[in-house]
Structure 1
Amino acid sequence: MVALALFFARSEPAAAVGVRPLVIDLEVRAGETAPFELILSPSGQRERVHVRLFQPTQLPTGDLTYEQADPDTFPTAAWVKLDRDTVEVPGAQEVRIPGRVEVPFGVSGSHTVVLMVEPETPTQGGGVAIQVRYAVRLNVRVPGVGVQARAALAGLGLVANEARRPFVRVRLNNPSPLDYRVEMEATVRDANRRLIERIPLQTEQGRRSGQTAARIYPGSRLDFAGRVQSPLVPGSYELQAFARYAEGRQAVARETVLVHEGEFALPEGRLLVQVDPPSLQLEANPGALRTVSFSVGNRTQEPVVVAAGTVSAGGGAADVWPLARLRSSFPMTLRPGQSRRISLTVQSPREQEPQGYYGTLALQALPEAEVGQEGAQPQQVRLPVALVLGQVPDPVLELGQAQYVPASPPGSVDAVSPGAATDSGGPAGSAEAPAGEAPGGTLYLAVHNGGLRHQVLEGSTVSIEDAEGDVVASGLTLSLPADPPWLLPGAWAQLEAEGVPPLDPGSYTLQIVLRSPDATLLDQATELVVGEEEGS
């Protein structure tokens, strides 16, 4: 379902009719006719509703765009017949709109038409304003002899975002006449074909919505990407991308890539071991025994000794370590290329208070030959741990003050590599500002977690409107500059959005959308005041 809100005034919108179903799937043989029905539910007031046919186009991001259908260039629209395309919906009564699809002979494959349902709302000036519209997808699938789903992968490689974090990127083309769902995954192996990491890939639309599977339409292309969490030191790597689609089919692409010195950001200090995952989250009931594990792998060609210690979260957060213990003995020695699974067990008294408990496991790695040597510099790895004990309500997030910091003028020492992507963002192109232009400014927003458990923030955005209601910026990535991006209970944190266009002094409205990996947490407007000393 896609609901497109179009507001022509700053006032609160009135209620609009409801529409169901929002997706209609029909399988119709060539030369046959299939009926369907739209049901419009009342909003409490009488409304006039239009239904128009639109042609969808799928973008590489996975999003759909729509334009009004022209049967001369989009013949599928001529198949769809509605008994009525304009109806009056009473305030307390459903209205049904019958329709049918008449499929001609000689066609096959998947065909999608969008039924755009547009309620009208009378304005004070006597005109008519479209308040909200619903894009109902009508998918018509026509079986044919020898018609099969096909997929082609291209452009597999490694790219970096502005923070020089590595991403796997690949394109999926659908050269077939069928639509289908697809899930993508990639693997990274070193020069000895040892598995370094398995990475789920998403489209941009999937990343925003938290969905791993995507639907691709005939003739469309989707761009997939996924963050490589493991450090990539200079050397040769083998990438493989796997597309699993159409209920059992698979496409595979393989590419060997060479990572050069300085191409991707590496952890500070030495790189001896790799820890996966980079953080631990678990839930348990008071009194129950829970175990979670992580791996520690030796990335060198010599034995490495790993030691472990614990650190409290601090900042008023409850400490996890009285409830948790490691099941493995430290220090431990890892042979070259060896990886070990380490278990962490959590158990609490039955009367333990339900809330979040936090801490950090501090690991140190040192080559065995350097153990005991004076001045040896071990690799430091911090593994955050979060335990949610019992039934804890979702955190209540509160917005604080927003502040805008303009970019430095072109030519100043600060005007370098601003970019709109952040550590948690997707792959990006060049980080350089266009010649003669200042890079974007930065927006800072304070957020408070008033709950008893942490909150993961991922995929949050901010849009900016000026005092006249004109959009200055839309959908800028709003990130929490922390790793992992956890907002601990009782804590304030500062979110950042880079690449903000120059803002003149005055008042602005910020539309803040805070998201977790699987839900929208907050959608709220707040004010930003840009002073004379801050404005561009």
Structure 2
Amino acid sequence: MRRLEYFSGIILFFLFMIFFSLSAMAIGVQPLTLDFTMTPGERKDFSLILSSSGMEESVSISIYQSYQDFTGNLAYRVGDLETFPEMGWVELEKNNILVPVEGEVELKGSIGVPFGTRPGSYVIILMVEPEASKTGDGISLIVRYAVRLIVRVDGPNLRERGRINFLQLEKDENGNQVLVAEVENNSQLDYLAGVEVTIRDENRSLVERLVLRTIAAERNQRDFTRIYPGSRVLFIGKPENYLYPGNYELRALMSYGERGKVTFVNDIRILPGQFPEPVQALNKYFTLKPEMVNIKLKPGQRYTETFEIKNIFRESIYIKTEVLDIEEDYKFSLIPWLRLHADDRLALLPRQSRQFLKILQVPIDAAEGGYYALLKLKVYEDESLINLLDEKIIPISCLVGKDGRLETQIKGFEFINQEEQAFLFLLKNIGQVHLKPRVKLNLLNKAQESLGEIELESEDLIEGLLFPGKEVFFKGVFKGKLEEGEYNAVIEVLSVNNSIQNSTYTIYVE
């Protein structure tokens, strides 16, 4: 996938530019996009506001031509009247302007559409570019702004059109499966477009439905990308589940503009060894949605939710379901309030899915805090339920009332000075809700100089969670060798991004 490697390089380039741009003070420009709906022979005025960066700057304004690359981003080049006559539509009050130390300045301009202009969308770029400033290292930094003028010229028989040129299953830079569709705007109008793909196996069973995105849209977490006339853009997406060797139908639906839709179908055959089977797929037999239940209810409130379990393996599987407590006689058990409407044994054909219902009823006198249960799923090879293939635990969490208190207690700390020098401590959740603990240890010498930070880990967490009342051991190994002397171990306990506890322990190495 040379194209994808190229796009990855583009992303790194933009991140590089952003990093260095932020180190320089920059003027402000508003607005960055101007939309015009016009008819041939019409002219309209506009203005830009340039605000101070804290220093007096001379700013030039040039007219550029834009083009859309395969990532969905707009790129720019200096306009030429012979190849880009639209640049002659713009008249500026001045092409250079002085932005004062404080305040702002207005730049006026106008845009006119000549008679005889073909109906459609046109994009003209005003490049606002201050003079290069020098940093202390002598590096010249230029922060420039591309102001987009979008002109939509009305006319008869003007409608949006689009097409999908190809839809393929390819390899990404790591050899993993990735779907790529090329979309073309073959109309004179710009529009928003999105692509959804359905994958079916040779038995016409639905394998997966996924949304493809352009690189530009992925960066902004959006499904739709604006595509300009004549542009060809790649929509990309990775199947959630590994596609085993066999025959598949790929069907893409492109939605564009107000009501436009177009489909593209490609029948493919995946050969054995064509794509390496990832490690996670070798032991992954089913999907379950949702993968974790984390809800918030009031006393007396009722909650109903559907689980969907799907066989993504090549053969039939047999699943045993069981609802468990965190531990025997668990104080914060959710089981008395929980009803699961499901067969305790499920048989699923390849690609088959089943649903079962979960009903949760919180008592009216329930105390505030977190309550928990575990849904355990065991996967077997056949209906004898002897040969276990895999198992999965799904935490079910219910917070009653307001956000619960986060609190931990370190019940013991030990430094082990043997072949490996390790730190061991016991952490208990004494709060009202579960934690997703992350523990950092910063090691300081006697001069309070940091010798490095160690991430401590625990093998006793359930799906990465520490439930109220439970305690687990954390361990971390120092990479190196501590000499004789006195040291301080500064421990910070976090849950997600919340710092919960800080403690300092003195250790002696003999």
Which residue of the partner structure matches residue 378 of structure 2?
A: 364
Which residue of the partner structure matches residue 52 of structure 1?
A: 62
Identity of aligned residues (%): 31
Which residue of the partner structure matches residue 489 of structure 2?
A: none
Deviation at 1:342, TM superposition (A): 3.0
| Alignment partner of 1:74 out of 75, 81, 84 | 84
Q: TM-score, normalised by structure 2?
A: 0.65
SS in 1 for 2:286: strand
Which residue of the partner structure matches residue 305 of structure 1?
A: 318
Which residue of the partner structure matches residue 339 of structure 1?
A: 353
Tell me the amino acid that sits aligned with residue 354 of structure 2: R
CA distance change for structure 1 residues 248 and 276 in 2, over 3 Å: closer, same or farther? farther
Q: Greater CA radius of gyration, 1 or 2?
A: 2
Q: Is the 8 A contact 1:326 1:342 kept in 2?
A: no
Structure 1 unmatched ranges of 5 or more = 396-450, 456-485, 493-515, 522-536
CA distance in 1, matches of 2:134, 2:311: 68
Tell me the amino acid that sits aligned with residue 224 of structure 2: A
CA distance change for structure 1 residues 139 and 336 in 2, over 3 Å: closer, same or farther? same
Q: Is the 8 A contact 1:113 1:137 kept in 2?
A: yes
Post-superposition CA distance 1:257-293 (Å, at most 9, x none): 112223342655577x532447336453564554443
| Alignment partner of 1:204 out of 215, 240, 261 | 215
Which residue of the partner structure matches residue 296 of structure 2?
A: 284
Which residue of the partner structure matches residue 307 of structure 2?
A: 294
Aligned residues: 395
More helix by share: 2
Tell me the amino acid that sits aligned with residue 310 of structure 2: G
Structure 2 unmatched ranges of 5 or more = 1-13, 407-432, 438-462, 475-495, 498-510
CA distance in 1, matches of 2:48, 2:21: 31
CA distance in 1, matches of 2:17, 2:35: 27
CA distance in 1, matches of 2:181, 2:362: 45
Which residue of the partner structure matches residue 50 of structure 2?
A: 40
SS in 2 for 1:327: strand
SS in 1 for 2:219: helix
Matches within 5 A, 1:74-473: 74-107=84-117, 108-120=119-131, 123=134, 131-161=142-172, 164-264=175-275, 265=277, 274-277=286-289, 279-280=291-292, 282-285=294-297, 287=299, 289-298=302-311, 304-309=317-322, 325=338, 327-334=340-347, 336=349, 338-344=352-358, 352-353=368-369, 361-366=375-380, 368=382, 370-372=383-385, 376-382=386-392, 385=395, 389=399
Deviation at 1:81, TM superposition (A): 1.1
Q: TM-score, normalised by structure 1?
A: 0.62
SS in 1 for 2:103: coil
Deviation at 1:79, TM superposition (A): 0.9
SS in 1 for 2:230: coil
Query: Which one scores higher on RCO, CA 8 angstroms, separation ≥ 6?
Result: 1
Deviation at 1:392, TM superposition (A): 6.7
Matches within 5 A, 1:473-488: none
CA distance change for structure 1 residues 9 and 179 in 2, over 3 Å: closer, same or farther? closer
Tell me the amino acid that sits aligned with residue 92 of structure 2: L
Deviation at 1:305, TM superposition (A): 3.1
Q: Is the 8 A contact 1:120 1:130 kept in 2?
A: no
Deviation at 1:200, TM superposition (A): 0.7
SS in 2 for 1:167: strand
Q: Is the 8 A contact 1:286 1:347 kept in 2?
A: no
CA distance change for structure 1 residues 18 and 351 in 2, over 3 Å: closer, same or farther? farther
Task: Let me know the Cα RMSD of the aligned residues.
Answer: 4.3
SS in 1 for 2:144: strand
Q: Is the 8 A contact 2:120 2:188 kept in 1?
A: yes
CA distance in 1, matches of 2:21, 2:216: 28
Q: Is the 8 A contact 1:307 1:365 kept in 2?
A: yes
Deviation at 1:221, TM superposition (A): 1.0
